[in-house]
Amino acid sequence: MEEILKSIAAEIVRQDDWGKTAQYIPELASVDPQQFGISVCLADGRLISAGAATKPFSVQSITKVFALVAALGRVGDQLWSRVGREPSGNSFDSVVLLERELGRPRNPYVNAGAIVTTDALLSGREPKMALAEILGLIRHMSESDSIYINETVAASEQETGARNKALAYYLKSHGNLNSDPELTLGTYFHQCAIEMTTDQLAMAGRSLAGLKGAPKVISRQRARRVNALMMTCGHYDGSGDFAFRVGLPGKSGVGGGILAIAPNVASIAIWSPGLNLYGNSHAGTRAAEMLSNATKWSVF
């Protein structure tokens, strides 16, 4: 595994096209796109990494997975009355389907769905309580207390997040947001601004992969469902392409991170900030494809 990761990192570093960082969040736009890290937690408990695996980056939409785990723990399957389980075939911040489908987002991994999930976690509490729950869960799952929220990134998105604000108010108009939209949005932006290293993220994915020794935060049945949604919806309108090329449940973030799960075998975290047209990491997807080819971990 050390050799595989080293050779993937070496190949990525040689590439010409790194993609482009997220331009709509100024703090992310200014990150150097030519960075790469990869970490793998194996079933025997080993953590193996290559490249910039100890550098914190903005995990962004990958937190939607942890927020979903927390919300299901809090409200259970009732959550599914507010958010669906189908791929959207649209970009992560699309408004189109929300209008046609009367304010019930397609799935918990597009922004509208994640705003509903965060709202379910908030449920009348102070935003800092909901954030403490998400952050606490992530710290517990990764066995790392040093994980934090980058306030500058949260503020940067708060300033430019007109589209997410539109989604939240639209949800509110359909009665699918319980809290004040500004409170839910503030919680959501702060949740997205959590920073982790690929080492920490790979550790956090162990419970979803069902690896031995992972903190027991979710039942196997629920983990299977969370993973199924990662496979079908985790890369938005690039989910089909990710399944085709990698064949593993995966969740991307606009910070350039990817969490991929090889059930019962491994938890994988990859980071490279340059994105492709779908807003998923360009080099990260390439690296995930190389790893899947080398290990035959595709579930297909």
Active-site positions read 61, 64, 188, 236, 254
Reduce the DSSP state of residue 196 to 3 states and report it. strand
Residue 279 engages ligand GLN in binding (rule: CB under 6 A) = yes
Neighbours of 251 (CB within 10 A): 33
Q: How far apart are CA 191 and CA 91, in angstroms?
A: 20
CA distances from 161 to 23, 87, 102, 134, 156 (A): 12, 23, 22, 21, 8
Residue 285 engages ligand GLN in binding (rule: CB under 6 A) = no
For ligand GLN, the closer CB: 227 or 280: 280
For ligand GLN, the closer CB: 237 or 297: 237
Q: 1: part of which helix (H) or strand (E)?
A: none
Residue 272 engages ligand GLN in binding (rule: CB under 6 A) = no
Tokens of 226: 């969370």
Tokens of 48: 């193996």
Query: Nearest approach, Cβ of 111 to ligand GLN (angstroms)?
Result: 5
Residue 93 engages ligand GLN in binding (rule: CB under 6 A) = yes
| Residues 6 or more apart in contact with residue 296 via CB below 8 angstroms | none
Interacting residue with ligand GLN among 39, 164, 200, 267 (CB under 6 A): 164
Query: Nearest approach, Cβ of 163 to ligand GLN (angstroms)?
Result: 7
**Contacts (CB under 6 A) with ligand GLN, residues 95-134:** 111
Interacting residue with ligand GLN among 27, 119, 157, 195 (CB under 6 A): 157
Q: Name the nearest CA neighbour of 261 among 294, 290, 234.
A: 234
Interacting residue with ligand GLN among 92, 170, 242, 297 (CB under 6 A): 92
Q: Name the nearest CA neighbour of 199 among 299, 72, 51, 4.
A: 51
| Site residues, ligand GLN (CB under 6 A) | 60-61, 92-93, 111, 157, 164, 192, 253-254, 279
